[in-house]
Structure 1
Amino acid sequence: MSSLGETPVGDPRERVLLQGLRLIDGTGRDPVSDAALLIEGPVIRWAGPALLLPPGLGPARLLDLGGRTVCPGFIDTHVHFALPGPAGDPLQGLFELPSYRTLKVLERMRVTLENGVTTARDLMGVDAGFRRAVAERKVPGPRLLVSVTMLSQRAGHADFTLAGGIDGLAVAVTFPGSPPSLVGSVDDMRARVRDLVAAGADCVKIATSGGVSSPHDQPEWLGLRPEMIRAAVEEAAAYGGLPVAAHAIGRPGIEAAVRAGVTSIEHGYALDDELRAEMVERGQYLVPTLLETTQDLDPARTSPTAYEKGVRWHRIAQESVARSASAGVRIAMGTDSGLAVGHGSNLRELGLLVDIAGLTPMEAIVAATSEAARLCGVDDITGTLEAGKAADLVVTDADPLTGIAALGDPARILAVVKEGRIAVDRAGVLGEGVLPALCP
């Protein structure tokens, strides 16, 4: 993936040994109550029970965490940093310069990182320039993967054409130079996927059903013809093996996406047992975005049609996801932050995966760490706290296995480390000068 080829600047090689910690490593294994974790520069050199720490690892600065819990940095596989969340109106971008919108995106990325998300997949909005700025530590933010835009037919979920003919998505949400979102044929789709590859996309986002917030469609509608979905999957596979994420709410869109071989179903509200079984057989992921289903659109700032769609389909979603999880469908955490969900509250999704989807707390953590990393294709870099992986970690005073909802409270995220550098240290638990700061 293009994001993996970008070389982080600054790579201090001083070793720091974190000890006196409770380790939840993201693999699903039982926590280690008296653990140690050795960081060398941006990577983990050793993690496990303190009593098994091998001799001869060399000198290291010691830092005792006083029994606090350390988890991998969390991964949100479905965000929209270009959207403002409930505090703003996405169409406000029509009246703003791209430079001004950029500054708002940077603030959203910073808040997301400081609240525990060290990797995020943006599924429409920001371009590869934001990814590069984060990778080079020009700005603070999660490790980014980007789809750049979202593709659908005219009158589909990616069609935000206003009555006067203005493309609201192109003007107010995506950034100049991003490939257009609307495709009208199989040939269009193939060419557009190649355009996205050339634009540096890490994945392809398609809308195979209508949506809640889009003005011209219904979630029950098929948002792309099946042959166009197959073309997207084929081209993405041919050009770097890019994963394909399908916005799919109603059954026709889910069915077409599953059978075309997409990598993940985003939302998946109308899944039934037949399609769940097919997803299990194919190893496809579901990203249920439960947090978004708890935040109905503001009726004062949206059309009555969109509000009614949201109320109806959010209830369907909450009734469906537990059946998908119990059927063995692979779950990865995603929040849809930026639409009805504010940025920085991402980890509230963990509690919902337990309370609504029926996952155990450990399964929810795995869905937001190692499983999310596998979906995004970065499991060789992050997702678990193991030797050779990036030193992406979250320090908390909560016990996530008995009260996972506490991770949704920023005050309980005491510190966040990304690639061995401190993104935030709210409680001073990492000691001044022991680890370097993330950005100069």
Structure 2
Amino acid sequence: MTERPVVLDHARLIDGTGAAPVSDAVLVVEGTRIRWCGPTALVPDDPDLRSAARIDLGGRTVCPGFIDTHVHFALPGPAGDPALGVAEHVTYRTLKVLERLRTTLHNGVTTARDLMGLDAGFRRAVAERRIAGPRLLVAVTMLSQTAGHADFRLPGGVDGLAAAVAFPGSPSGIVDTVDDIRTRVRALVAAGADCVKLATSGGVTSPHDGPEWLGLRPELVRAAVEEAEAYGGLRVAVHAIGEPGIAAAVRAGVHSVEHGYALTDELRAEMAERGQFLVPTLLETMAEPDPARVGPHIHAKAVHWHRVAQEAFARSVQAGVPVAMGTDAGLTAPHGRNLKELGLMVRFGGMTPLQAIRAATADAARVCGVDDLTGTLAAGMAADLVVCGVDPLTDLDGLADPSHIHAVVKEGRLAVDRVGVLAPAGLPDLT
């Protein structure tokens, strides 16, 4: 039986492409897809639409469902200590992940790329609507060489990353030879990974290295890119903070540079020419870790590199480097406040609100390889919608407040409706 369409009237439409808003628009949802959207004056004369359920949005702005290309649902953010995972049952850690997924979806993110932690079982459970959450893409684990950013092996013999963050059966993240990394990329493909996550520089929170170190040799990065391309054309995302790690990633032909704090003008020009994306994760730079918890060394790294990140981002935007939204939510950034990144891209990068929204919709979809499904509001695309309680073009920061996310629809199903605006439409619930 064909599902009846639902007509959303008197909407202000921001379609995700960067085009100016349509001030008086109609959006038609049928099943999981958008059947039609555009100016009210151009609505087709269709008998199905004349008899369809109609909802007056009263001029509220509708955006595509937002996409966070860099999250870690297995990490607790400022709400907890990831080291506690060592002493927790896997079932308990799983239940905490479910709450983070639900919170993220309800606050406007309908697609998320988890770049270390979750396995493919979470993706399947979300896709089958067994649990509520954004559409998931998973990297499963992160790869680096010994003493690199993926090496959390402690002096007592415990692998902190494997014990506290990874789920059973996830491949190890330590690779030290070209053969190692080729085999490990294949293992990730077999484990159901949607993309490959590498760490070509050290990290702020990792115990053995510094962001300015080269965390994965160039020949290993090139081998990973080759294997990922050969095994289904998987995209390669790279944690790269310092210049050596960024250079190794960019010149190996990766798809996205995550963080990219120490980008030089030369590397920016190369990224712009190749169309390689920068995922700046500015939200992660807004909180300093507690020195009592992480120690003075890691605290000092955070203070320095976060300042570098904030000061460098505008130069990347000006150089024409493509940008996609990613928050690193779960590290120091809280889950569910992902859309705060939009205002930070305007504040630190000089982007316009429309550019920031595009970075979190159409361009983020391109990074994830789902731009044929979501990221824009157009006929045939998934009905992933966010109904806003503020005008994002004048109060973009307002989207970070959950009370201003009036409703979220994912694939034509109602995920949350805080003000009852879509309740009369009869849209099915998500789960």
Shorter-chain TM-score range: over 0.9
How far did 1:300 drift? 2.3
How far did 1:381 drift? 0.4
Aligned length: 429
Q: C-alpha distance in 2, partners of 1:132/1:203? A: 16
Q: C-alpha distance in 2, partners of 1:162/1:300? A: 19
Q: Deviations over 1:275-309 (max 9, x none)?
A: 00000111100000000011111222212111110
Structure 1 runs of 4+ aligned residues shifted over 6 Å read none
Whether 2:46 is the aligned partner of 1:56: answer yes
The one-letter amino acid of 2:234's match is: L
Aligned to 1:185: 177
* Aligned with 1:372 (options 352, 364, 367): 364
Whether 2:41 is the aligned partner of 1:17: answer no
Q: C-alpha distance in 1, partners of 2:211/2:313? A: 17
Aligned to 1:7: none
Q: Does the C-alpha gap of structure 1 residues 224 and 184 become closer, same or farther in structure 2, counting only changes over 3 Å? A: same
Q: How does 1:187-226 map to 2 (within 5 A)?
A: 187-226=179-218
Aligned to 2:390: 398
Whether 2:335 is the aligned partner of 1:343: answer yes
Q: How does 1:349-428 map to 2 (within 5 A)?
A: 349-428=341-420
Please report the RMSD computed on the Cα atoms of aligned residues, expressed in angstroms. Answer: 0.9
Q: Does the C-alpha gap of structure 1 residues 12 and 408 become closer, same or farther in structure 2, counting only changes over 3 Å? A: farther
Whether 2:32 is the aligned partner of 1:42: answer yes
Q: C-alpha distance in 2, partners of 1:304/1:83? A: 22
How far did 1:433 drift? 5.7
Q: Deviations over 1:339-393 (max 9, x none)?
A: 0011000000000000111100000000000000001000000000100000000
How far did 1:410 drift? 0.6
* Aligned with 2:302 (options 299, 307, 310): 310
Q: C-alpha distance in 1, partners of 2:396/2:425? A: 30
How far did 1:110 drift? 0.2
**Contact 2:55/2:425, CA 8 A, preserved across alignment:** no
Which stretch of structure 1 is more off in the superposition, 340-349 or 428-437?
428-437
The one-letter amino acid of 1:140's match is: A
Aligned to 1:240: 232
* Aligned with 2:285 (options 279, 293, 296): 293
Q: C-alpha distance in 1, partners of 2:292/2:412? A: 44
The one-letter amino acid of 1:63's match is: I
Aligned to 2:92: 100
* Percent of aligned pairs with the same amino acid: 70
Q: TM-score, normalised by structure 1?
A: 0.96
**Contact 2:6/2:425, CA 8 A, preserved across alignment:** no
How far did 1:56 drift? 1.8
The one-letter amino acid of 2:114's match is: D
How far did 1:115 drift? 0.3
Which stretch of structure 1 is more off in the superposition, 99-108 or 292-301?
292-301
Aligned to 1:255: 247
Aligned to 1:151: 143
Q: Deviations over 1:387-433 (max 9, x none)?
A: 00000000012111111111111110000000001110000010246
Q: C-alpha distance in 1, partners of 2:258/2:294? A: 22
Q: C-alpha distance in 2, partners of 1:68/1:407? A: 13
Q: Deviations over 1:76-133 (max 9, x none)?
A: 0000000000111111100011111000000000000000000000000000000000
Q: Deviations over 1:236-271 (max 9, x none)?
A: 000000000000000000000000000000000000
Whether 2:421 is the aligned partner of 1:435: answer no
How far did 1:12 drift? 7.1
Q: How does 1:118-129 map to 2 (within 5 A)?
A: 118-129=110-121
The one-letter amino acid of 1:52's match is: L
Q: Does the C-alpha gap of structure 1 residues 256 and 428 become closer, same or farther in structure 2, counting only changes over 3 Å? A: same
The one-letter amino acid of 2:291's match is: P
Which stretch of structure 1 is more off in the superposition, 394-403 or 203-212?
394-403
**Contact 2:73/2:329, CA 8 A, preserved across alignment:** yes
Q: Secondary structure at the match of 1:300?
A: helix
Which stretch of structure 1 is more off in the superposition, 247-256 or 301-310?
301-310
The one-letter amino acid of 1:48's match is: G
Q: C-alpha distance in 2, partners of 1:431/1:211? A: 45
**Contact 2:12/2:60, CA 8 A, preserved across alignment:** yes
Q: Does the C-alpha gap of structure 1 residues 93 and 35 become closer, same or farther in structure 2, counting only changes over 3 Å? A: same
Aligned to 1:4: none
Aligned to 1:110: 102
**Contact 2:141/2:197, CA 8 A, preserved across alignment:** yes
Aligned to 1:279: 271
Q: Deviations over 1:311-351 (max 9, x none)?
A: 00000000100000010000000000000011000000000
How far did 1:14 drift? 2.0
Q: C-alpha distance in 2, partners of 1:310/1:360? A: 28
Q: C-alpha distance in 2, partners of 1:298/1:93? A: 18
